[in-house]
Amino acid sequence: MSDIIHLLPDSVANQIAAGEVVQRPASVVKELLENAIDAGATDITIKIVDAGRTLIQITDNGDGMSETDVRMAFERHATSKIRNAEDIFAITSMGFRGEALASIAAVSHVEVKTRRPDDDCGTRLVIKASEVESQEPVSCAVGTSFIVKNLFFNIPARRKFLKTNQTEQKFIFNEIYQIALAHCGVSFTIYTDENLFAKYPETNLKQRIGAIFGRKLETQLLPIEGQTSIVAIHGFVGTPETAKKHSYLQYLFVNQRFFRQKNFQAAIMRAYQNLITAKDYPPFFVFFDINPAHIDVNIHPTKTEIKFVEEYNVVQLLEATVKHSLGKNNVVPSLDFSDETNYSDLFATAAGRDVKLPSLDINPHYNPFESSPKSTSAGSGIGGKSSFSMPHKQSTQNWEQLFDAAPRQAAIPIQQTFRSALNNEEHSQQETGMCMQIQKKYILTQGKTGLMLIDIKRAHSRILYEKFLAQLQCTKQLTQRTIVPIRIETTAHEMSVLQEILPQLAELGFEIEHFGNTTFVIHGTPADVEAVQVEGIIHQCIAEYEEGKAVNVHERIALALAKSAALYRNPTMQPDEMQIFIAQLFQCSEHNLSADGKRAVVLLDYAEIFKKFNS
């Protein structure tokens, strides 16, 4: 019988090994960027076509390679970064396994042009599926340019396994962000499908965070700093208000290398205890500088898990450092509305002398039951007089109980509805329907069984949410054209999200055109959104959308837009507006909670109030 064991051909062995390093286009971007950083580049250009399936090009102005080195670089275990096993324990560069280029070349078409500063002429090398096709001298700039085409052309199963372009592009940007955050001294220029996507010039950490994740976050960052004999910590954490429902903005770096570590994340979250809920994730960008001998980077093939020798001490220091920063910056827990003591504060203000009772100012032309939104009235909108038209709903069960009123009929004017809802024999006409705005935040009104406090922004988010959701589920909404097109600039990150949600925003009545790069132009808005506020609303909506957990895209969009638009409500309300507002709220299927499930209405029982005075 003949022997059965044989060696796999190199090309097959390389393909198999490549699977560990190159899982998707983002892996190629990561490896090539790390090599460029290791080569001392200060300026890196990234070009991505078709989310990296068709082309990934990374050009750097680093050290370049000699004619021999560029050929060697593609051999497995070829590296200039370590020479012996001990070196692994003192590793300061990003790479060291010498596997990346060999792996990439095994599953794609690669073209490299490279020149060292002292060489007159550079080298061009072409490799397809690990086979060298050509190598020749070429005139090129100092540094190295890698072009990786047709990734996984020889592994169709891998190609099929890739997700949508949008998702693959997100993976790519995550890699770019990790490297760009850790190397603020390096400038990055990013092109996607031939368009300039973003440019991050050389800067400091704070501004780099702002360039990537938005200028708003940049203004809400608190610096952190801590040091012991073994480790130094620096970076930024977000104020409690910046906490998100997701952990995408949590970045840890050790010696400028991104890593993940549950214990470190938990330590930072502990520092925020009582400042945010357990479900919220504060943004953080924390950098550890430590002697490489005190960490082990070799435990994970893609090197994002790192083991610290003195983990316990480092975690302790981390928690203390973040706590110190939060304390120093006077970050105190925000007042909880459900707290009893706050009620008394509220009432103290309400009873105070300087509280002005609102004067009555009724718009006689207003008809809240108009069936179509006022698509052409430029003055209508969230910031102006109430003008949102609600989907006609009969589900008013609870609010009738609350007011103990007769069932409503949809055709009667809303003011009247409100009055009749509040009205009953025990209250005189004057008392009923009287609303008072408190601290510009709440509406105080009286029902039959008690006083009712409504959180205006929360209630508004509910009204808008139900409206937007209803709109998304039926036909396209009317748009009010803006007189002058409004240009808005987004961050690179915001741009990809906005592109994703443009179709739904269009259904809601937004007319937004992608003007190239990170610029969008708004030609029209829904009737509920005023042109002057649209820029803020869009930025906010993107952030909210990202945080949203709902799987249903319509719900996520409606919630994101409702929450952002609610923030732009004009805080001062006229009595008639308050009445309409309350009636609209109680037409919602769930009127006690804001769009995102926070308490929007508090009822103070007359019996309880009575008890308070008589106990």
Which stretches of the chain bind ligand ADP, using CB under 6 A? 31, 35-36, 39, 60, 62-65, 73, 78-81, 95-101, 144
What is the C-alpha separation between 510 and 522, in angstroms, rounded?
8
Residue 52 partner contact from Mg ion, ligand ADP, none using kind-dependent CB cut-offs of 5 to 8 Å: none
Q: How many whole angstroms separate alpha carbon 161 and alpha carbon 307? A: 31
Q: How far is CA 453 from CA 208, 435, 600, in A?
A: 43, 10, 8
For residue 228, the minimal CB distance to ligand ADP (Å) is 31
Q: Which is nearer to Mg ion, 107 or 444 (CB)?
A: 107
Smallest distance, Mg ion to C-beta of residue 95, A: 3
- Exposure of 546 in the CB half-sphere (CA atoms within 13 A): 22
Which residues 6+ apart lie within 8 Å of 308 measured at CB? Answer: 254, 261, 290, 294, 295, 314
Q: Which does 525 bind (CB under 5 to 8 A by kind): ligand ADP, Mg ion, none?
A: none
- Least distance between ligand ADP and beta carbon 103 (Å): 8
Answer yes or no whether residue 14 interacts with Mg ion by CB under 5 A: no
Instruction: Give me the residue whose beta carbon is nearest to Mg ion.
Output: 95
CB nearer to ligand ADP: pick between 27 and 386 = 27
Q: Given the rule CB under 5 A, which of 87-95, 103-111, 238-246, 421-429 is the region that contacts Mg ion? A: 87-95
145 binds, among Mg ion, ligand ADP, none (CB under 5 to 8 A by kind): none
The backbone torsions φ and ψ at residue 118, rounded to the nearest 5 degrees and listed phi first, read -85, -10
Q: Which does 36 bind (CB under 5 to 8 A by kind): Mg ion, ligand ADP, none?
A: ligand ADP
| Paired sense of beta strands 187-192 and 43-49, if any | parallel
Question: Residue 80's binding partner, choosing from ligand ADP, Mg ion, none, with beta-carbon cut-off 5 to 8 A by kind?
Answer: ligand ADP
3-state DSSP assignment of residue 505: helix
> Minimum Å distance from CB 49 to Mg ion?
22
Cβ-based nearer residue to ligand ADP, 143 or 575: 143
Minimum distance from residue 97 beta carbon to Mg ion (Å): 7
Task: Identify whether the C-beta of residue 74 lies closer than 8 Å to the C-beta of residue 123.
Answer: no
Looking at beta carbons only, is 61 or 242 nearer to Mg ion?
61
Can you tell me the distance from the alpha carbon of 78 to that of 255, in angstroms, rounded to the nearest whole number? 23
The β-bridge partners of 6 are none
Residue with smaller CB distance to Mg ion, 41 or 318: 41
Question: Which position among 25, 52, 62, 95 is part of the footprint of Mg ion (CB under 5 A)?
Answer: 95
144 binds Mg ion (CB under 5 A): no
Residues ≥6 apart with Cβ < 8 Å to 401: none
Q: Could you tell which of Mg ion, ligand ADP, none binds residue 544, using a CB distance below 5 to 8 A set by kind?
A: none
Among 100, 112, 290, 454, binds Mg ion (CB under 5 A): 100
| Closer residue to Mg ion, CB minimum distance, 302 or 363 | 302
Rounded to an integer, what distance in angstroms lies between the CA atom of residue 57 and that of residue 80? 22
Radius of gyration of the chain (CA): 30
In which order are the strands placed within the sheet that holds 480-489?
480-489, 519-525, 511-514
At 17 the three-state DSSP class reads helix
Nearer to Mg ion, 31 or 455 (CB): 31
| 28 forms part of the interface with Mg ion (CB under 5 A) | no
Write down the least CB distance from residue 82 to ligand ADP, Å.
8
Of the ranges 82-90, 97-105, 552-560, 583-591, which one interacts with Mg ion (CB under 5 A)? 97-105
- CB nearer Mg ion, residue 100 or residue 561: 100
Rounded distance between C-alpha atoms, residue 554 and residue 466, angstroms: 11
Rule CB under 5 A: say whether 35 interacts with Mg ion.
yes
Q: Would you say 64 or 447 has its CB closer to ligand ADP?
A: 64
Residues near 107 by Cβ (< 8 Å), separated by ≥ 6?
15, 18, 22, 129, 151, 152, 153, 154, 155, 158
How far is the CA of 257 from the CAs of 32, 56, 108, 252, 299, in angstroms?
Answer: 15, 22, 27, 8, 14
Q: Choose the one of ligand ADP, Mg ion, none that binds residue 433, judging by a C-beta under 5 to 8 angstroms depending on kind.
A: none
Torsion, CA 379, CA 380, CA 384, CA 386, rounded to 10: 160
In the DSSP assignment, the letter for residue 444 is: E
What single-letter amino acid sits at 268?
A: I
- Tell me how far, at minimum, the Cβ of 489 lies from Mg ion, in Å: 35
Do residues 186 and 37 touch, judged by C-beta distance below 8 A? yes
62 touches Mg ion (CB under 5 A): no
Q: Which does 186 bind (CB under 5 to 8 A by kind): Mg ion, ligand ADP, none?
A: none
From the CB of 114, what's the least distance to ligand ADP, in Å?
A: 7
